[in-house]
Chains A and B, each alone.
Chain A
Amino acid sequence: MKLTINGEDHYTDISVLSDLLASLEYEGEWLATAVNGELVHREDRSDFTLCDRDRIEILSPMQGG
């Protein structure tokens, strides 16, 4: 299926969000995830099933003013 991850097209057969993150080497307690504009809590990622054309945002801390 086709996913959009942080604005980039991505094709995968992985359908669970936590598995997808691991496969792409997204690791760390400092990550936040959202799918289709809705927050997916850290503890819910392993139960979250992805669908074709889902839009995933993966954010992490950075400097800010």
Chain B
Amino acid sequence: MLELYGHVVASRLLLGTARYPSPAILAEAVRASKTDIVTVSLRREMAGSRAGGAFFQLIRTLGVRVLPNTAGCHTVAEAVLTAKMAREVFATDWIKLEVIGNHDTLQPDVFALVEAARILSGEGFKVFPYTTDDLVVAERLMEAGCQVLMPWCAPIGSAMGPVNLPALRSLRAQFPDIPLIVDAGIGRPSHAAIVMEIGYDAVLLNTAVAGAADPAAMAAAFTGAIEAGRIAFRAGMLEPRDMAVPSTPVIGKAVFS
């Protein structure tokens, strides 16, 4: 079982709620994924609109825990205020902390991220930082109070999959006891399986499911891949070799010439 800030979850898939064709399809995908945690956000409400309320009610009916994000924030002040407003709305001290540093790559501003993580941890938040695969930044985030790390494996929405497996392996080796969740860049179930095979604890994804032709079916596919990757990691996998090794024993082989 996976424990995140003292909360035990059965599913190792965290699912985003954005970009689905409809609320009904979002609900189908969440149920098909068997996830325990979905990410949500906050945006400006129009006067007289009840759009936010409709989404709020939908999430409540799904019976899952919410992980609000600070998506779109570019400064420490924006991220900290958004986190506080999210705590007010969703009644949770969990926060997926995003501080974006580059408009094109949506790469996190890791300097601001660490500062915001320190402030929010000091105010009682349980911070899930969206970060790069940089080892030193990871150390700083933990010093700032983070007990979970969420490195990207490729830019958000890129669907490239893990582009720097050695860096992800290094993080895993350096922090064997910290929950590591790959957040962003996953495009296919096989990508999710790969990061689970190298020992990651969970995967957070959104677009790969929401953008599929059949989001509910794709959610189920990711769940299967993540479970397979986890079981494979625990089972202990063969390392690649340069030479062939016969699988059938050669002792007792007939000699015909």
Contacts and interface: CB of A to CB of B under 8 A. Distances in A.
How many of chain A's residues touch chain B, expressed as a range? Answer: 20 to 34
Contacts of B253: none
A62 B41 contact: yes
B99 to A, nearest CB: 15
A1 interface: no
Given A34-B81, A37-B81, A62 B68 contact: no
- Chain B at the A interface: mostly helix, strand, loop or mixed? mixed
B90 interface: yes
Contacts, number: 112
B10 interface: no
Given A30-B56, A32-B88, A59-B89, A64 B50 contact: no
B45 A64 contact: no
Interface in B58-92: 59, 68-69, 71, 77, 81-82, 84-86, 88-90
A28 B81 CA distance: 20
Given A28-B53, A61-B59, A42 B44 contact: no
Contacts of B43: 59-60, 62
Contact of B17 (A30, A31, A39, A64): A64
Contacts of B19: 63, 65
Interface in B35-49: 39-49
A3 to B, nearest CB: 13
Contact of A31 (B40, B52, B71): B52
Given A30-B89, A58-B44, A59-B44, A65 B156 contact: yes
Leading 4 A-B pairs by shortest Cβ distance: A60-B52, A64-B41, A65-B16, A65-B206
Interface of B: 16-20, 26, 39-53, 55-56, 59, 68-69, 71, 77, 81-82, 84-86, 88-90, 156, 206-207
Interface of A: 5-7, 24-28, 30-34, 37-39, 41-42, 57-65
